[in-house]
Every structure is written in structure tokens, then in C-alpha cells.
Amino acid sequence: MMKLSHYPFRNQFVVLMMTLASLMIAFYSIFTYFNEKEEYLSELGNEIKVISRVLENDYARLLMIGLPSESIELLNKWKQFPIIEHVDLKEMSGQSILHYSKLDQPHQTFHNIKPQETLEANQLDRVGHLFFYKDIVEFNGEEVGVVSYVISNKKYDALVGELTKRIAISILIALALAVFLSLWLQKIFVAPLKRLMIRIKKIADDQLYSKTLSINENDKSELASLAKHFNVLLQRMDKTLTEVENSRVLAQELAYYDDLTGLANRRLLTEHMEYVLDIATRENQHGALLFIDLDNFKTLNDSRGHAAGDELLKKVAESLKKVFRSTDTIARLGGDEFVILSGHLEDSEEAVINQVHSLMLKLRHVLSEKFVVLGESYHLTASIGITTFPNMADNIDILMKQADTAMYRAKEAGRDGYHFYQPEMQAIADSRLQMETDLRLALEADELELFYQPQVDEFGRILGVEALLRWFKKDGSMVSPADFIPIAEMTGLILPVGEWVIKEAFKQLAIWQRGDISPSFRVSINISPYQFHQNDFVQDIKGLLNESGALASHVTLEMTEGITIKDIQSTIDKMEKLSDMGFKLSMDDFGTGYSSLMYLKKLPLNELKVDQSFVRDLETDRSDAEIAATIIAMAKNLKLEVVAEGVEDESQLAFLTHHGCLVFQGYYFYKPMKAADLTELMFGHAVIL
Ligand code: C2E
Ligand code: MG
Ligand code: MG
């Protein structure tokens, strides 16, 4: 059974009021009944008392004298009182003297009742008869008999009928009043509560927690106070929800977008790729995936600090947005790696390739604009790898790998360019990856060794040596530095490798210093630009020098033109510090890079090395010969020493000597050799430690 509290307020109110009314009516009825009954009985009692008093003498006379005429007279008198039904007059002995019965039949209970000295009506029999008793006293005060009356119940019946009618009417009026009252009360109390409830429900249903309930400021009622509290609750809820929503949005952004540039991150890219690939394969459409890596970003980041690097990345991101369409997904995977997924699908692979070609032109144009970062301008280039789908692959991981491989290919091909993936590239990429892993292990496994190639004068007298790195694998094979140095540079492995080289060369130099070497004897050490641009490079090399006991005056640091790619002033500052420490500075592979003469003039250099590519074809290629001659002349002009690399025969030597070159390095004199062999060569015996 449902509890009352489960019903609406309105019904509860009505039931409550009806119950109250019914209870009140019940009390009223009981009270009225007993009251009326009491009154009625006392009225009858009085009447009987009066009758008794009037007839008292007659009773006494009859009892005393007992004339029959008097009996008849008495019977007639009793008859005159309609309320009297039975009368019994008895002597004290209990002997009945005279009996009257309206209906001529004796009352049943009449005889059983013991006479009492009372006329108080106190007994009602089952059908409502009343009994009265009265002792009869003679003139001299002696009790002579007793009279008992039975009174008709007709009046009593009429009274009960009247009472029932009155109670019924009261009940009806009370119930009507209860209904009316409950409706009125519910209008006053329940209806506003209900209105409030509907408004609250609407807010909850619409979930518009920023809304509030309108309240009359002057309303001091409890309901208004409830609404006010509810408004406070709403405001808090709205605030909390806004905070929750904000953190949800933030979490979503963090999860899907790159923090720095606001571009898509790997996760979003993957999701978009899944979607685009699905359409492409289903509808036989074609698209492209591009892997972009900025050339020399690492160098800039390390030399100018991360703040500069970050700013540049943001600017690049903006430029990429200018080049690619909004349907494309531009993502940054970290560092300077950007990936573009062309979401604009074409009907054929050719169409995709054409599209990409024109996009690449646009990209190069945008990147060629000056990028001003922390007050300095940079010229940016990028290496880009491209693969197409679904022809090349229909799997995200494979496509990413292909684009990455093609990007490396672009880097190898001299950077600042783009390459489409070709299946055969994968093998190269795999072997390069293998090489990176192996090189890491080689450092620990002691597979690296320094060879030394003498630098000589035209008569073959040793003036110095160049330290050249060799990697001998456990299986006896040798990996050329030309193969692994570029990979070490790309992966950052050049730092531990380069440090090892410096340490090793210093150690060897310290040994030779104990032998009889000329004060001008030099060991040349190759320093890669990435290594040079490390913030602590000067500090580190100084530490290694002190540790080893080698003298800076016996050391030449060879650098390539790559170091000028960045902020020229900091490069100069650093070179000056090295110069002040006593190191000689040499520009290696001169002529192959793109450093300008103006830069060259500013750098505190001591030496230029003519790249072997110009020496190799001196006789056959006139322009090479001219370049070589020009470099030598220029070096002289700038008061720089000049070393010719890769001298392999006499005629090359003759040409170079003729043009004023004084120092030579090449197979014509010596090949790079082990330290021990060189020691033997220089001193004719091992140096005693
Ligand atoms: P590089 O610094 O220009 O070194 C000269 C290269 O020319 C050496 O090649 C040397 O063996 C080679 N060479 C010398 N004379 C001749 C010749 O007459 N004919 C021919 N064909 N080649 C000759 P290597 O040792 O293979 O080194 C290649 C490059 O690897 C070096 O070019 C240098 O750039 C880099 N490298 C070598 N060792 C290191 C190193 O320890 N650190 C760094 N950063 N780079 C190194
Ligand atoms: Mg060199
Ligand atoms: Mg060189």
C-alpha cells in the first residue's frame, strides 16, 4: 500500500483536513448525545417528580384507606399523563395495591426491580423504557408504600432521531468545510511550493544552471528564502560545472594538440589518418603524407637556447598553416618534426604528386622568407619526405616510416629539398637505423680507433697529423667515417663520439709531447658543427686538455663551413676563446659549403684546407684547378696557412706547389695509419712512457 507521503501535497492536505474534521465531528456527536440524554432524563425526572407530588396524597390515601372509587380515580389520573406507561403502587410489604398499564400488560422488568427511594431517572431498558421509583410517606412521616413508574420511550426515540439528523447535517457541513478549507490552504501553501518546484524542475531538465529563480526582494517568506538558497546552490553548481568543463577542454586540447604550436599532435594525426585512409581505400581515392624536418634546427636550438628554438617552431607552424589547406592535418610530432596529412583526396596518384609538387614550391617560398627570432633573422630550409596512399601502403605505421625514410633521403641528398618515397629506400633506411644502434654499442665496446694521417711539406717532412676516426667492427669490417659521421650528427650521437675523439687525440698528443717533437707540430682534430655549437664546448675541451696534459699549442681544430650557419657573432666569440687558449683553427673542406667570403674574413682562422674534390681533378678539370689556385691565393691574402687535401700524385703536388701551397696531406705521402705506426715513423721507435 502506498504511503500517504507518496501522494501529492494537495491530496495529503485534503486527507488531513477530512480526518481532522471527522475526529471533531465524532467528539461533538458523542458529547452532544450524552449531554442531550442527560438533559432529557432530568427533564423526565422533573416531570415524574411533579406528577408524583401531585398524586402523593392520592397514593397515601389509597394505601391507608383503600377505597375502590379512589383506585378508579387514580387510574384515570394516570391515564391523563401520556408519558406514563406503567404504574405500580405497592405496600411496604411488597403487596401490589394498584397497577396501571397503558397497553394493559404488565411490564416485564417491573416486578424484578427493587423499589428505591428515588425519582431520578437512572435506568433505561433495552427498548428505552425508563423506570422511576418513589417511596410514599404518610402525613405523620411513616413510609407506607412505594410507587414505580415506567415511562414511554417515544419521546426518547424522537430525541435520538433529532440528534441523528443534527449530527448528519453537522457532518456534511464539516466535511464541506474541510474540503473547502483544505483547498484554500493548499492554494496558500502548496501552490507556491508547487510553482517553485516546476521552476526548479525546468532548470534541472534544461540543465541551465546559469539561470536563477527570480525573487521579490521584499519577500521575506520562507519560500523566498528557500529560493534564495537554491539560487546560491545554482551559482555554485554553475561555477563548478564551468570549472569541470574548462578542465575537460584543457585535457582534450592537451590530449590532441601540441602545447607549443597548437598544431595537431601525434594522437590527433593518427585519428585523422585512420579516417582519411578509410575513405581513400573505400572510395579508391589518393592522398599524401609529408614528413618535414627543419635543416640545422638542432644547431640553432642548442646555440641560441630553447626559447629561440620554440619561437622559431611557432613561426614555422604559422607558415605551414599558410601553405596547407584547412582540410589538411598539420601536426608536430616533437622537436622540429612536422607531419602533414593531405585530407584533400584526388582521383589518381599522379594528381596527388602534382599537388604535392606545387605545394612544395609554395612551402619553399614561405620558408625562404626571413624568420626573425629574438631579434635575429634566420634563413630556413627543410628536408621533406613524402609518401602516397593507398598505393604505397594502407597502414598508418608503414606510411609514417616511409615518409620518414624519404625525408632522410632528402637530407642525404643535400637537404633543402623533398623526396618521394621509393620502396628501395627502405633497405637503406633500415641499414641506417641499424648503424645508429651499432654505433651506440661501438662506443661502449671499444670498436672506435683514431688513425693519424701526416701533413707534410713538399719534401715529405712531417709537420703535423690529422686524427681520423675509424670504426672496426667485431667481425673485422671497417665502417667509413664518411658513412657514420653524418648519422652520428643527425642523431646527436656525435657528442659522445666527438668527445671520445678529442680525449683520445689529446691522450696520444700527450704521449708524443714526451718525445722529440717540434714546437710547431700539430695534431688536427675534426670538430662537427653540432659539437662546436654546444654551449659548454669551450669549457669541455679545456677540461679535457687539462686532464690529458696535452698542450693547446700543438692542436688544430678543424671545422667545416657548417658552423657559420648560425649566428655569426657567437661563432666568432667562441672561436676567439679557443684561439686565446692556444688552439689553431682550420676551415676544413673549404669551397664545398656555402659560407661567404665576408664571413671568412671575420672568423679568427689560422688555416684553410682545400677540399680534396678540387685536388682530385686538377689536371682534367680546369675549373677545379682554378678554384684550387684561387683558394690558395685567397688564403695567402688573408694570411692563412693553406693545406691541400687528397694529394695523390706528383703532378698534383707540382701544381699546388707552383701556386704557393706549402702543406700537403694525401696518399701520395701517407695514408692514415695507426698511432703506433706513426710513432715509429716519427721517432723510429716507440715513445717511452
Ligand atoms: P676530412 O676531415 O676532410 O678528412 C680527410 C679525408 O680524406 C679522410 O677521409 C682521409 O682518409 C681522406 N684522404 C686523405 N688523403 C686522401 C687521398 O689522397 N685520397 C683520398 N681519396 N682520400 C684521402 P676519412 O678518414 O674517410 O674521413 C672522412 C671524413 O669523415 C673526414 O673528412 C671528416 O669530415 C670526417 N671525420 C673523420 N674523422 C672524424 C672525426 O673524428 N670527427 C669528425 N667530426 N669528423 C671526422
Ligand atoms: Mg678534416
Ligand atoms: Mg677535409
Structure confidence by residue, pLDDT tens digits, 33-63: 778 777 777 777 777 778 877 887 788 888 8
End-to-end CA distance of the chain: 108
> 15 C-alpha to center of ligand 1: Å?
107
Do the domain assignments include residue 272? yes
> Which whole number is the average pLDDT over 162-174?
81
**Which of the listed ranges 54-68, 279-293, 542-556, 620-634 does the model predict with the highest average pLDDT?**
542-556
Q: How many CB atoms sit inside 10 A of residue 88's CB?
A: 22
| pLDDT(399) > 70 | yes
What is the pLDDT at residue 458? 93
Same domain, 152 and 108: yes
Q: Is the pTM of this model over 0.85?
A: no
Nearest to 523 by CA among 454, 625, 575, 570: 454
User: How high does pLDDT run on average in the chain?
Assistant: 84
Task: Categorize the per-residue pLDDT at 521 as very low, low, confident or very high, splitting at 50, 70 and 90.
Answer: very high
Same domain, 128 and 47: yes
- Strands 641-644 and 607-610, bridge-based pairing: parallel
What is the pLDDT at residue 688? 46
Lookup: cell for 7: 501522494
What is the pLDDT at residue 595? 60
Which letter does DSSP use for residue 190 in this model?
I
Same domain, 519 and 624: yes
**Which of the listed ranges 380-384, 429-433, 665-669 does the model predict with the highest average pLDDT?**
665-669
What is the pLDDT at residue 126? 46
What is the pLDDT at residue 1? 52
From CA 214, how far away is CA 250, in angstroms rounded? 34
373-to-9, 337, 370, 535, 605 alpha-carbon distances in Å: 73, 19, 9, 18, 28
What region does 167 belong to: left with phi over 0, alpha with psi -120 to 50, or beta? alpha
Q: How many CB atoms sit inside 10 A of residue 511's CB?
A: 18
407-to-150, 411, 418, 421 alpha-carbon distances in Å: 132, 6, 7, 8
Q: Which protein residues have a CB closer than 5 Å to ligand 2 (ion)?
A: 526, 558, 588
Structure confidence by residue, pLDDT tens digits, 260-311: 999 999 989 999 999 999 999 999 999 999 999 998 788 777 777 888 899 9
CB 647 within 8 A of CB 654: no
Q: Which protein residues have a CB closer than 5 Å to ligand 3 (ion)?
A: 588-589, 645
> Which whole number is the average pLDDT over 589-614?
83
What is the pLDDT at residue 189? 75
What is the pLDDT at residue 120? 53
CB 70 within 8 A of CB 55: no
What's the one-letter identity of residue 157?
D
> 466 C-alpha to center of ligand 2: Å?
7
Q: What is the domain-level CATH number for residue 417?
A: 3.30.70.270
Do the domain assignments include residue 407? yes
Task: Categorize the per-residue pLDDT at 153 as very low, low, confident or very high, splitting at 50, 70 and 90.
Answer: low
Do the domain assignments include residue 588? yes
Q: Tell me the sheet residues that pair with 243.
A: none
> Which whole number is the average pLDDT over 582-608?
85
What region does 655 belong to: left with phi over 0, alpha with psi -120 to 50, or beta? alpha
Q: What is the domain-level CATH number for residue 139?
A: 3.30.450.20
Lookup: cell for 233: 546552490
What is the pLDDT at residue 111? 44
Lookup: cell for 598: 665576408
Do the domain assignments include residue 40? yes
Residues 416, 417, 422, 428: what is their CA dihedral angle, to the nearest 10 degrees?
-20
Ligand nearest to the CA of 646: 1
Do the domain assignments include residue 236? no
> 616 C-alpha to center of ligand 1: Å?
14
- Strands 555-559 and 522-527, bridge-based pairing: parallel
What is the pLDDT at residue 686? 53
What is the pLDDT at residue 7? 75
> Which whole number is the average pLDDT over 440-459?
94
Ligand 1 proximity of 468 Cβ (cutoff 6 Å): yes
Widest Cα–Cα separation across the chain: 198
DSSP 355-383: HHHHHHHHHHHHHHS-EEETTEEE---EE
Do the domain assignments include residue 557? yes
Q: Could you list the residue range(s) of the whole structural domain that residue 396 is in?
A: 261-421
> 607 C-alpha to center of ligand 3: Å?
12
> Which whole number is the average pLDDT over 206-224?
78
Same domain, 405 and 524: no
**Helices 425-444 and 396-412 meet at what angle, rounded to 10?**
80
Note every long-range contact of 369-374, with CB atoms under 8 Å and residues 24 or more positions apart, other chains counting.
369/319, 371/312, 371/315, 371/316, 373/304, 373/308, 373/311, 373/312, 373/315, 374/304, 374/307, 374/308, 374/311
Nearest to 588 by CA among 533, 631, 649: 631
What is the pLDDT at residue 163? 79
| pLDDT(119) > 70 | no
Backbone angles phi, psi at 520, to 5 degrees: -90, 0
| pLDDT(689) > 70 | no
From CA 25, how far away is CA 3, in angstroms rounded? 25
> Which whole number is the average pLDDT over 366-383?
83
| pLDDT(596) > 70 | no
Ligand 1 proximity of 479 Cβ (cutoff 6 Å): no
Do the domain assignments include residue 32? yes
What is the pLDDT at residue 54? 82
DSSP 122-188: --B-TT--EEEEEEEE-TTS-EEEEEEEEE-SHHHHHHHHHHHHHHHHHHHHHHHHHHHHHHHHIII
Ligand 1 proximity of 524 Cβ (cutoff 6 Å): no
What is the pLDDT at residue 552? 97
Same domain, 370 and 454: no
Task: Categorize the per-residue pLDDT at 353 as very low, low, confident or very high, splitting at 50, 70 and 90.
Answer: confident
Q: What is the domain-level CATH number for residue 502?
A: 3.20.20.450
> 526 C-alpha to center of ligand 1: Å?
9
Task: Categorize the per-residue pLDDT at 124 as very low, low, confident or very high, splitting at 50, 70 and 90.
Answer: low
From CA 87, how far away is CA 131, in angstroms rounded? 10
| pLDDT(539) > 80 | yes
| Domain final residue pick, 105, 137, 159 | 159
Same domain, 523 and 387: no
What is the pLDDT at residue 472? 95
What is the pLDDT at residue 585? 97
| Domain final residue pick, 402, 421, 440 | 421
Residue of 443, 448, 484, 485 best suited for mutating to test ligand 1, as the one with most atoms within 8 Å of CB: 485
> 540 C-alpha to center of ligand 1: Å?
24
Higher-scoring residue by pLDDT: 528, 426: 528
From CA 120, how far away is CA 109, in angstroms rounded? 18
Do the domain assignments include residue 470? no
Lookup: cell for 53: 407530588
> Which whole number is the average pLDDT over 648-654?
95
| pLDDT(131) > 80 | no
| pLDDT(112) > 50 | no
Task: Categorize the per-residue pLDDT at 400 as very low, low, confident or very high, splitting at 50, 70 and 90.
Answer: very high
Same domain, 376 and 519: no
| Domain final residue pick, 159, 175, 190 | 159
Backbone angles phi, psi at 330, to 5 degrees: -105, 120
Domain total in the chain:
3
Same domain, 415 and 504: no
Same domain, 135 and 266: no
**Which of the listed ranges 79-93, 173-187, 198-212, 576-590 does the model predict with the highest average pLDDT?**
576-590
What is the pLDDT at residue 117? 41
| pLDDT(451) > 90 | yes
Residue of 503, 507, 532, 645 best suited for mutating to test ligand 1, as the one with most atoms within 8 Å of CB: 645
Same domain, 456 and 348: no
Task: Categorize the per-residue pLDDT at 129 as very low, low, confident or very high, splitting at 50, 70 and 90.
Answer: low
**Which of the listed ranges 53-57, 302-306, 356-360, 512-516 does the model predict with the highest average pLDDT?**
512-516
Ligand nearest to the CA of 481: 1
Same domain, 305 and 408: yes
What is the pLDDT at residue 107? 52
Lookup: cell for 428: 637503406
Nearest to 516 by CA among 682, 667, 399: 682
From CA 526, how far away is CA 672, in angstroms rounded? 14
Q: Tell me the sheet residues that pair with 385.
A: 291, 419
From CA 558, how far away is CA 544, in angstroms rounded? 17
DSSP 106-123: --TTGGGSPP-S------
Ligand 1 proximity of 493 Cβ (cutoff 6 Å): no
Structure confidence by residue, pLDDT tens digits, 7-41: 777 777 777 777 887 788 778 777 877 787 777 77
> Which whole number is the average pLDDT over 513-532?
93
Same domain, 361 and 455: no
